[in-house]
Amino acid sequence: MKIGFRFPRVLISVLIMVGALSVAAQANELEPADINNDEGGAVSVTGEVVYTNTLFTSGVAQPLVILEDQAGFVDRDRGFLMPVASQVLGQITSDFYTSPFSYSISLPIQPQGTYRDVDNDGGDDQGVQIYATAYWSNTFGDAYLEERDLYGGGWSSAYASTRVTDEADRYLEVIGGKLLVYAADDAQGFPAGFGDDELLFTDDDPTVLLPQGYTVVDLDSDPFTFDRSANPVIDLIEPEGAALDDFSEMSYTEAFDAMLDKFTREYAFTEYKQVDWAALGEQYRPRFEQAEDDDDSDAYVLALRDFLWEIDDGHIALYPQPAVMGNEFETAISGGIGLGIRDTDDGRVIVNFVTLDSTADAAGIELSAEIEAINDTPIDEWIENTIAYSAPFSTTHFERLQKLRYSTRFPLGDSVEVTYRNPDGDSETVTLETTDEFISFNQSSFNRGRTGLELPVEYRVLDSGLIYVAIYSFSDNDLLTIQLWERLMQTLNDSGVPGLIIDMRSNGGGSGFLADQMAAYFFNETFELGNTSLYDRGVNDFVTDPNQADDFFLPEENLRFQGEVAVLVGPNCLSACEFFSYDMTIDDRAAIVGQYPTGGLGGSITDFAMPDGLFVRMTVGRAMDANGDIHIEGIGVVPTVQVPINEETLLGGGDPVLEAAETYLIEQITGEAPSLEVAASDGGEIALGDKIAGEVGEGERIAYTFTPEDDIVVTITVGDAAGELDTYLRVYEGDELIAENDDIELGEVINSSLEGLELAGGTTYVIEVGTYDDASAGAYELEIIAAE
């Protein structure tokens, strides 16, 4: 995800005005500032930071409160960068993850900020150093904030001691709050008000003379007040655009009206998705009214859920999950029949998983069987009418995959009629009773195999010598993520690795800035990546700030990887994951390998509060490419290397997408396609009824010849008694592979079997015994018998 609000603090000039200047005659003409609490000036600053935004702490590992040099704002130069010398780092003195948190800053006797002459006296004075106290996140972990941190995310320093406006004609102008000003002597002036133009640091500002040292200036009084307390309190301010909209104390109907108004004004893709908010209001408001009249919390929750499901946007969410939704979900999916089904490229819906000893297995439904109907409804119509409880979705391909998953789930105890056609069989209809079988449902999860203990970045060496890395999140500990990433980059370069495979197929998103900057490690140019259009309350429309374009900030050259890259994608690559994947298409930097595009969540998000302790997440930022076009929402990142969806890839075991990426990269690196064959050792002849014991080594296959006297149907099995050897069985006629099997029961029984194989009399066949990916070794028994 990209955080849905962006209020960058004005950054700092690296221009340092040096030299001691004499006291000007004009300075003596200024009236001294009226000082409150004159204790000689500040020596330390304390304060609190209140935040309501639910995303404020997301991924933050090293939060900072600092003195933020405001010379850039004085100059109205959005490109200024805060000098390291000016950065005075404070301490966070309470739990950052609990609002409010507190901070303290010990002030240096001689600060090293940037001087600016702001007294409007016409003289060439040394001027003053001007600071706000501000919150930042030190994503990249240096001792001080670096360029990438200062531009990182843009929103982080919105929490500062000053208030700025988001009005289009005065965008980011300071309109209130407090500043900390340092004067090296007692001859420097500072504004005492905003002047007639209501802008700070302009020619019409009235000015006063400041004492030497630190002075706190309160911009919320007219005229400004000047405080010389030794230990002033300066709280940081949450901007209006960042603060949580809270409708939780409203009635159900009032909250619905407020929510509908917020969506109508601020939802990023109204025109793009052709959402008719007025029609949705007419449709759903009566349900909220009825829930309110009946004091029915469950009815309110279901009305809210159904309203949100009307919006085809995968970012839209309701959380935490209310009990009524959980109960409905659990009832609807509590019964299974033991089937997993998938679409194929040629338009069929086939069985890609059968749970051993399930009702479907007992009825004789086989892998690769084509499903024609369920409960007398044609299969495509049945799938289309299925409720996918992981709704809503931004793309039709993700919605279809999830509906396929849910289409074979029913309430426990239901009877289900399935019409199917086994391979080489006739159409049959069976009635199956549901049981509390969840294996088939779990195996179709996009998070299958995840433990929840994964690091945000994990990597390993493949047998091919390529490196495989999975990025699981851009919302985990950001500093740890960068440290793991940079260690990988350094290792790749030190070891001369020629190719890298980046697996993005199970990444739910997070910080779009972090995603962009991790992609920067593969480039040598600072490409403009795109921009985000956000609703502006001042003009009541969406605006795009050209100063907020997303760019790469290149890491040190020794951390940039120059080798070949393939990125694995799928529908469970969402939001920030998609921005990373899109970045890797720039300048054709990487091959995008997959069977499906990514999930198509191309926007920035924010949350708001609703009654009964619920929160709604919505899309408020419209992400666009460098040409100003919507490039991810509703589309996703499309593979450039398309992996087919057929029996071989759905039933063959292994990881066909990873294998396709390896094949592609090896061809790019070597200039030729890799050999997919492993030389087989001669195992001799085998006869019908034989059971032969053998042993296969890693990277080895054993070939046996079999010549039946007459036409025959056989069953061939290979495996070990413990069922622990992950065997792979192949049968060839000449050079043609005519049958193969990895697992008897995919992922469950890892020995191999071919049942009902028809062989011609007098023909010599080669039966080849190996292991999955030729990566295992062990003893086995091979048996060939006549099929029953």
Per-residue pLDDT reduced to its tens digit, 210-241: 999 999 999 999 999 999 999 999 999 999 88
Mean pLDDT of 440-446: 94
State pLDDT tens for residues 39-50: 999 999 999 999
% of the chain with per-residue pLDDT over 90: 81
14 has pLDDT over 60:
no
Region 190-205: what's the mean pLDDT? 96
Give the CB-side neighbour count of residue 387, counting CA atoms within 13 A: 14
For the chain, the C-alpha Rg in angstroms (whole number) is 33
**pLDDT of 2:** 39
- List the structure tokens of 154: 């843009």
Res. 523 pLDDT band, cuts 50 70 90:
very high
* Mode of pairing for the β-strands spanning 528-536 and 736-741: unpaired
When comparing pLDDT for 752 and 10, which is higher?
A: 752
Averaged pLDDT score across all residues of the chain: 92
**For 397-423, b where at least 16 C-beta lie within 10 A, e where not — what string?**
bbbbbbbbbbbbbbeeeeebebbbbbe
- What amino acid is encoded at 484 in this protein? L
pLDDT value at position 635?
A: 97
Query: What is the rounded distance in angstroms from the CA atom of residue 574 to the CA atom of residue 316?
Result: 13
DSSP string for 77-116 = -TT----GGG-EE-EE-S-TTSSSEEEEEEPPSS----EE
Does 7 have pLDDT greater than 70? Answer: no
Secondary structure letter of residue 579 according to DSSP: H
Neighbours of 542 (CB within 10 A): 18
The pTM score is: 0.82
Backbone angles phi, psi at 567, to 5 degrees: -115, 125
pLDDT, average across residues 330-358? 97
Where do we find the tokens 């040394």? 126
Q: What is the DSSP string of 136-188?
A: EE-TT--SS--HHHHHSSS-GGGSBSEEE---GGGTT-EEEEEEEEEESSS-E
Q: Give the pLDDT confidence score for residue 747 in this predicted structure.
A: 63
What's the pLDDT at 677? Answer: 52
pLDDT (0 to 100) of residue 157 = 56
> What stretch of H or E contains 257?
helix 252-266
Largest separation between any pair of C-alpha atoms in the chain: 118
21 pLDDT band (50/70/90 cuts)? very low
The answer on pLDDT for 23 being more than 90 is: no
- How does residue 151 score in pLDDT terms, banded at 50, 70 and 90? low
pLDDT digits 0-9 by tens, 571-602: 999 999 999 999 999 999 999 999 999 999 99
Q: Which structural domains are found in the chain, ordered by start? A: 2-227 (no CATH), 332-443 (2.30.42.10), 457-670 (3.90.226.10), 680-786 (2.60.120.510)
Q: 12 pLDDT band (50/70/90 cuts)?
A: very low
pLDDT for 254 equals: 98
pLDDT of residue 81: 85
pLDDT reported for residue 673: 57
**152 pLDDT higher than 90:** no
Which token pair is 560? 């940039």
Q: What is the predicted pLDDT for the residue at 25?
A: 39
Q: Residue 1: what pLDDT?
A: 38
pLDDT exceeds cutoff 60 at 770: yes
Please state the φ and ψ torsions of residue 748, each to the nearest 5 degrees. -115, -55
Arithmetic mean of pLDDT, 373-385: 98
Residue with tokens 């904030």: 145
Q: What is the pLDDT of residue 309?
A: 98
pLDDT band of residue 548 (cuts 50, 70, 90) is: confident
Q: What is the pLDDT of residues 292-324, one digit of tens each?
A: 999 999 999 999 999 999 999 999 999 999 999
More confident residue, 7 or 628: 628
Is residue 262's pLDDT more than 60?
A: yes
**Arithmetic mean of pLDDT, 325-339:** 97
For residue 778, how many other CB atoms are within 10 A of its CB?
Answer: 16
Of 588, 575, 6, nearest to 242 by C-alpha is: 6
Check whether 381 has a pLDDT greater than 50: yes
What pLDDT was estimated at residue 28? 52
Q: b/e string for 672-693 if b means 16 or more Cβ within 10 A? A: eeeeeeeebeebeebeeeeebe
The three-state secondary structure class of 450 is coil
| Portion of the chain with pLDDT greater than 70, in percent | 94
* Residue 38 to residue 619: CA distance in whole angstroms: 49
pLDDT in tens, 651-694: 988 899 999 999 999 999 988 755 545 667 889 999 999 999 99
Q: Where are the alpha helices (DSSP H) in 622-682?
A: 647-651, 656-670
Helix 277-293 crosses helix 252-266 at what angle (to 10 degrees)? 160
More confident residue, 680 or 288: 288
pLDDT tens column, 64-109: 999 999 999 999 988 788 889 999 999 999 999 999 999 999 999 9
pLDDT value at 734 more than 90:
no
**The predicted structure's pLDDT at residue 563:** 96
Give pLDDT, residue 676.
45
pLDDT at 13 over 60: no
